[in-house]
């Protein structure tokens, strides 16, 4: 609903512009024409909105009837031959997946040596005691940053982009792009490894931002990554150099309490109606509005979830589904589209690649690209043991059944990665957008391969 309201606001702004032409003394007829065009646009928008509202009312009425047992839940025909890992593979092989959307969290980067946020003992939040924070999430709070930016910059020195190599998972996403199958990649990560892996910037939506640019939190002057790095690594707190300003320069990552980039809203609104396969990797999907993206596909589109734990919310009752969207139904007897593959993101992607006949191609791509990074950065020890191992071991192309024992999940808000602003021009005020609550990352537990296969 929020995105719809954004579109209405844009329409109103356009209308005002047209009405401004209507006030011209020199071109009254043209102004009148513009006004009529704007009015026509208003009528069209109004009718479309009314139609959607009627559809919602009808869906809510039907859901209420289903809840009371007055109506059977509508049967939706599956697009998959079998609702399991092999069904997804065949669906791709048969050329039915031409507009794949991938969604990713911190779990796709852990094998590169970058910690996720909430894994016990190894997660970022469990290792922030040395910064003397009032609470772990404060390191990404914009209010706390304005009072005390030092803890964030101490952490930034450890996580600064350029020290890590993309993982097998990153290169699998690149392969989807090169094969013309990837419509969009939505990521919560701020590590910029998608860019290092060769993903087209137009394909990648960094929902929680990046380190490539930064802005003064007072005057909004823009600074480059190299400028920030030089000062952060000294170490010192980067301060604005604009005349008369001494504000702190913050990398363009979205903190708690900040708005998400407008591009996230735009792509969210435009892409998911075209999506014919959704692959979610390395995120617990507990942070909004990123988590809500899984509910924006058409109701029959297959959804595959690759993660160490099945921490996603379960399917809701019919009425709640209409209001909030449907959760996953991995083990339901009426499941027609949801597949859970339990294991690391690298293993899951390699399993898919092997089953699709792309295994050797993916291994060679990882090896070649890592070698290029080593040549370009001879003094940086960027290779992690985990990352190197991914290319040498063969993933099981037929995953085992996942452990369906209920697992305890965290209900506290997570911290994630963060935002992108302008590239070279002075930043403009962003449209009102959902507030960010960074961090939906995978949890680290002893990995089990599997897919939690559900049958039709």
- Report CA-CA distances (Å) from 400 to 152, 233, 250, 392: 41, 45, 45, 21
The Cα–Cα gap between 227 and 239 comes to 11
210 given a catalytic annotation: no
The Cα–Cα gap between 211 and 216 comes to 14
Tokens 């961090």 identify what position? 439
Instruction: Count Cα neighbours of 279 within 13 Å in the Cβ-side half-sphere.
Output: 30
Catalytic residue among 7, 170, 185, 208: 208
State yes or no: 219 annotated in a binding site.
yes
State yes or no: 345 annotated in a binding site.
no
Q: Which helix (H) or strand (E) holds 280?
A: strand 277-281
Chain-centre distance of CA 362, in angstroms? 23
Cβ neighbors of 59 (< 8 A, separation 6 or more) are: 322
State yes or no: 240 annotated in a binding site.
yes
Instruction: Count Cα neighbours of 221 within 13 Å in the Cβ-side half-sphere.
Output: 17
Cβ neighbors of 397 (< 8 A, separation 6 or more) are: 351, 354, 355, 359
Q: Which of 132, 129, 85, 137 is nearest to 441 (CA)?
A: 137
Region for residue 413 given its phi and psi (left: phi exceeds 0; alpha: psi -120 to 50; beta: otherwise): beta
State yes or no: 275 annotated in a binding site.
no
φ/ψ of residue 175, rounded to 5 = -60, -40
Q: Within 272-404, where are the H helices?
A: 318-324, 345-356, 359-376, 385-392
The DSSP annotation for 129-177 comes to GGGT-SSGGGGGBHHHHHH--HHHHHHHHHH-TTSS---HHHHHHHHHH
- How many CB atoms lie under 10 A from the CB of residue 121? 7
The pair of structure tokens assigned to 426 is 């002075």
User: 247 and 273 in contact (C-beta within 8 Å)?
Assistant: no
User: 287 and 117 in contact (C-beta within 8 Å)?
Assistant: no
Binding-site residues for Zn(2+), in ranges, read: 216, 219, 240, 245
Residues identified as active-site:
208
Binding-site residues, in ranges, read: 216, 219, 240, 245
């Amino acid at each position: 609903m929020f995105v719809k309201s954004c579109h209405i606001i844009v329409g109103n702004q356009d209308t005002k512009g047209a009405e401004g032409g209507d006030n011209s003394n020199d071109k009254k007829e043209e102004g009148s024409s513009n006004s009529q065009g704007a009015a026509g646009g208003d009528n069209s928008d109004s009718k479309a909105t009314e139609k959607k509202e009627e559809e919602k009312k009808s869906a809510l009425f039907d859901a209420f009837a289903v809840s009371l047992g007055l109506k059977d839940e509508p049967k939706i025909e599956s697009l998959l031959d079998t609702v399991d890992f092999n069904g997804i593979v065949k669906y791709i092989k048969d050329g039915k997946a031409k507009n794949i959307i991938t969604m990713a969290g911190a779990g796709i980067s852990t094998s590169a040596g970058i910690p996720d946020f909430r894994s016990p003992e190894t997660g970022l939040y469990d290792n922030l005691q040395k910064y003397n924070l009032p609470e772990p999430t404060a390191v990404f709070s914009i209010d706390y940053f304005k009072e005390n930016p030092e803890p964030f910059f101490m952490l930034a020195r450890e996580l600064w982009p350029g020290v890590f190599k993309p993982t097998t998972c990153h290169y699998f996403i690149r392969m989807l792009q090169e094969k013309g199958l990837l419509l969009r990649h939505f990521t919560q990560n701020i590590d910029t490894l998608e860019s290092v892996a060769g993903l087209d910037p137009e394909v990648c939506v960094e929902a929680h931002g990046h380190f490539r640019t930064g802005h003064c939190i007072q005057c909004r002057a823009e600074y480059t990554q190299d400028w920030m790095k030089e000062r952060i690594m000294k170490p010192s707190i980067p301060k604005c150099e604009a005349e008369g300003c001494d504000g702190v320069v913050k990398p363009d990552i979205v903190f708690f309490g900040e708005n998400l980039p407008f591009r996230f809203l735009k792509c969210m609104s435009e892409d998911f109606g075209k999506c014919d396969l959704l692959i979610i990797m390395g995120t617990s999907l507990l942070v909004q509005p990123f988590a809500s993206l899984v509910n924006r596909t058409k109701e029959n589109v297959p959804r595959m979830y690759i993660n160490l734990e099945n921490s996603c919310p379960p399917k809701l009752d019919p009425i709640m589904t209409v209001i909030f969207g449907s959760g996953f139904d991995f083990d339901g007897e009426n499941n027609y589209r949801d597949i859970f593959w339990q294991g690391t993101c690298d293993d899951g992607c390699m399993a898919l690649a092997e089953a699709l006949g792309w295994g050797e191609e993916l291994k060679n791509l990882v090896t070649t690209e890592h070698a290029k990074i080593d040549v370009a950065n001879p003094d940086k020890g960027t290779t992690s043991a985990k990352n190197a191992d991914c290319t040498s071991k063969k993933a099981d192309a037929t995953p085992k059944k996942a452990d369906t024992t209920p697992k305890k999940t965290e209900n506290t808000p997570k911290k994630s990665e963060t935002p992108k602003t302008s590239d070279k021009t002075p930043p403009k005020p962003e449209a009102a957008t959902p507030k960010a609550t960074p961090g939906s990352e995978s949890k680290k537990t002893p990995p089990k391969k599997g897919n939690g296969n559900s049958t039709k």
